[in-house]
């Protein structure tokens, strides 16, 4: 967003939403049925069309930065399904983020202040997150968890309960080597983002991504000192913190890489937006690729995997990065694997960063819809390319007793690669 010294209706100073972009919405409503909160709530304020109308009213001075405006924007999952649907190309995600920046700077205080303070102190800080997860692990094994669940201690605290239910086990993370050499014909040199939640809860996904990239001909560089991409902060309107993280991340990767690769869709979408928010990290943004995007262009030796799989479109892969066919095409390349289409595959599962912690009721409703669709396919394996979705869907399957395996597509590809003749 260009920095605007003037005021634009209720918006002030830098990082105001772009009025021209807001005016692109012709109110046709094609986005409405694609919006998860419309599906759950069935009211206009909680549709993309309604939210754009409110943002535009604020930009045109018809509405202030009110608590209710903030509330309707808070309820948005930021899934950007509306962008996929929009025939006029309204950049909803960027408008939402800019309005949240304005609300944060000039609007009323957030209603989740304490929880947000905790989330932003821990989640984007890999070391702190690791410590919290280690504590959770002790809690889980000590019998305390059994006691808490049996007594219903957390029942009056739905947000804490949501957090407690989300994490099951914490795997032992083996650190990746600083450089993984390319195998076979060399295609280039890439950096690997290990992510925050990803490195602690899904280290195997990072390992598989590195192995597959190497197999595809890429030398993989894994800087040890890398931090968070800033996605959570971007989505929460914490623009300054986001920019600082983007700058630090750009500095952590060597400048001569061909690409910087992530296997977390949420990180990838945020990094690809760097150019929109700051010049210093624009180059990193332009070089960012999802691991599936790169692998889809490469040859991979794959052996048979006789599995029935369904694929859930992570919002920030399908809507945020417009990658829908690549993951499916890759999975179809595995001999013996049957890919079943998931109904409403691109409807958000309710995870949405930390949304499931902040708005547990709507997140649970969306998760139930997702699980019903999954059960209807009869697939035994669900693939999804974002750690948030993996956590959320896995927690739902555990709670429902569904006997399914939840994996990142690279895990299936790595398994198939091991079986290659």
Partner 1 sequence: MALSSSVLATLAEIVGPDGVVSSPEGRLVYECDMHTFYKGAPDVVALPRSAAEVEAIVRLCRRARLPIVPRGSGTGLIGGAMAPSGGVMVGMNRMDRILEVDLPNRCATVEPGLINLWLTRAVQDRGYFFAPDPSSQMVSSIGGNVSTNAGGPHCLKYGITVNHVLGLEVVTGAGDRVQLGGRVVDRPGYDLTGIAVGAEGTFGLVTAITVRLLHAAEAVKTVLASFSSIEHASEAVSGIIAAGIIPAALEMLDALMIRAIEEGIGAGYPKGAAAVLLIELDGPAAEVEAQAERAAAICRERGALDVRVARDDAERALLWKGRKEAAGAVGRLAPTYLLQDAVVPRSKLPAIMREVLAIGERHGVQIANVFHAGDGNLHPLILYDDRRPGELERAKAANEELLHACIAMGGTVTGEHGVGLDKAKNLPLQYADADLNFMYRLRGVFDPDRLMNPGKLLPAHPACGEGFRPARPRLPAGAWI
Binding residues for partner 1, how many (CB under 8 A)? 31
Quote the least distance from Cβ 341 to partner 1, whole Å.
13
What the block records as the tokens of 298 is: 């490469």
Q: Establish if 68 lies at the interface with partner 1 (CB under 8 A).
A: yes
> Quick one: three-class SS letters along 35-100?
CHHHHHHCCHHHCHHHHHHHHHHHHCCCCCCCHHHHHHHHCCCCCCHHHHHCCCCCCHHHHHHHHH
Using the rule CB under 8 A, which residue among 7, 61, 89, 157 binds partner 1?
A: 89
Collapse the DSSP code of 376 into the 3-class scheme (helix H, G, I; strand E, B; otherwise coil) and give the result.
Answer: helix
Using the rule CB under 8 A, which residue among 16, 54, 59, 337 binds partner 1?
A: 54
- Site residues (CB under 8 A) for partner 1, limited to 252-281: none
- Site residues (CB under 8 A) for partner 1, limited to 13-52: 23-30, 32-33, 38, 42-45, 49-50
Collapse the DSSP code of 288 into the 3-class scheme (helix H, G, I; strand E, B; otherwise coil) and give the result.
Answer: strand
Q: Establish if 400 lies at the interface with partner 1 (CB under 8 A).
A: no
Using the rule CB under 8 A, which residue among 9, 11, 16, 53 binds partner 1?
A: 53
Q: Where are the alpha helices (H) located in 202-301, listed in sequence order?
A: 203-215, 231-235, 239-252, 265-272, 274-277, 282-287, 291-296
Q: Give just the sign of the alpha carbon dihedral 323, 39, 18, 100.
A: negative
Using the rule CB under 8 A, which residue among 57, 251, 373, 402 binds partner 1?
A: 57
CB closer to partner 1, 45 vs 315: 45
Within the chain, what is the greatest distance between any pair of CA atoms? 66
Cα distances (Å, whole numbers) of residue 415 to 111, 157, 245, 305, 399: 45, 40, 34, 8, 27
**Contact assessment for residue 9 and residue 58, using Cβ atoms and an 8 Å cutoff:** yes
- Site residues (CB under 8 A) for partner 1, limited to 90-119: 90
Quote the least distance from Cβ 114 to partner 1, whole Å.
25
- H or E element in which residue 398 lies: helix 387-400
Quote the least distance from Cβ 71 to partner 1, whole Å.
8
Quote the least distance from Cβ 95 to partner 1, whole Å.
13
CB closer to partner 1, 45 vs 213: 45
Q: Establish if 66 lies at the interface with partner 1 (CB under 8 A).
A: yes
Cβ burial of 301 (10 Å; 0-12, 13-18, 19+) is: exposed
Q: Establish if 341 lies at the interface with partner 1 (CB under 8 A).
A: no
- Site residues (CB under 8 A) for partner 1, limited to 190-229: none
Contact region for partner 1 (CB under 8 A) — 53-61, 132-140, 317-325, 330-338?
53-61
Quote the least distance from Cβ 380 to partner 1, whole Å.
23
Q: Establish if 361 lies at the interface with partner 1 (CB under 8 A).
A: no
- Contact residues for partner 1, defined by CB under 8 A: 23-30, 32-33, 38, 42-45, 49-50, 53-54, 57, 62-63, 66, 68-69, 72, 86-90
């Amino acid at each position: 967003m260009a920095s605007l010294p003037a005021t634009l209706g209720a918006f002030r100073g830098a990082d105001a939403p772009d009025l021209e972009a807001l005016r692109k919405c012709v109110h046709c409503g094609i986005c409405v049925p694609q919006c998860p909160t419309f599906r759950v709530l069935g009211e206009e304020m909680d549709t993309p069309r309604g939210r754009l109308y409110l943002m535009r009213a604020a930009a045109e001075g018809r509405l202030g930065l009110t608590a209710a405006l903030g509330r309707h924007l808070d309820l948005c999952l930021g899934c950007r399904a509306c962008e996929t649907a929009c025939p006029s190309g309204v950049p909803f995600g960027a408008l939402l983020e800019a309005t949240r920046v304005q609300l944060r700077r000039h609007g009323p205080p957030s209603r989740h202040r304490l929880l947000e303070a905790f989330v932003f102190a821990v989640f984007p800080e890999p070391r702190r997150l690791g410590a919290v997860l280690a504590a959770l692990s002790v809690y889980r094994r000590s019998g305390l968890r059994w006691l808490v669940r049996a007594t219903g201690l957390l029942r009056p605290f739905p947000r804490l309960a949501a957090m407690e239910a989300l994490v099951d086990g914490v795997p032992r993370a083996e650190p990746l080597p600083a450089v993984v050499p390319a195998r076979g014909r060399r295609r280039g040199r890439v950096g690997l983002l290990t992510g925050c939640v990803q490195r602690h809860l899904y280290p195997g996904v990072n390992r598989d991504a590195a192995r597959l990239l190497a197999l595809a001909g890429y030398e993989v560089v894994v800087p040890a000192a890398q931090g968070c991409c800033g996605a959570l902060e971007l989505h929460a309107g914490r623009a300054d913190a986001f920019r600082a993280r983007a700058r630090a991340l750009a500095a952590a990767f060597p400048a001569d890489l061909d690409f910087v690769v992530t296997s977390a869709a949420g990180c990838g979408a945020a990094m690809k937006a760097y150019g929109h928010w700051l010049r210093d990290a624009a180059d990193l943004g332009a070089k960012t690729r999802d691991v599936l995007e790169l692998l889809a262009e490469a040859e991979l030796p794959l052996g048979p995997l006789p599995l029935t799989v369904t694929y859930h479109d992570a919002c920030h892969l399908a809507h945020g990065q417009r990658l829908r066919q690549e993951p499916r095409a890759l999975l179809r390349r595995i001999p013996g694997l049957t890919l079943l289409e998931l109904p409403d595959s691109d409807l958000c599962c309710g995870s949405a960063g930390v949304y499931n912690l902040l708005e547990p009721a709507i997140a649970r409703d969306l998760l139930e819809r997702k699980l019903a669709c999954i059960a209807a396919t009869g697939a035994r394996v669900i693939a999804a390319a974002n750690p948030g979705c993996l956590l959320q869907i896995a927690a739902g399957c555990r709670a429902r007793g569904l006997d399914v395996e939840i994996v990142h597509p690279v895990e299936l590809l790595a398994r198939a690669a091991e079986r290659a003749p």
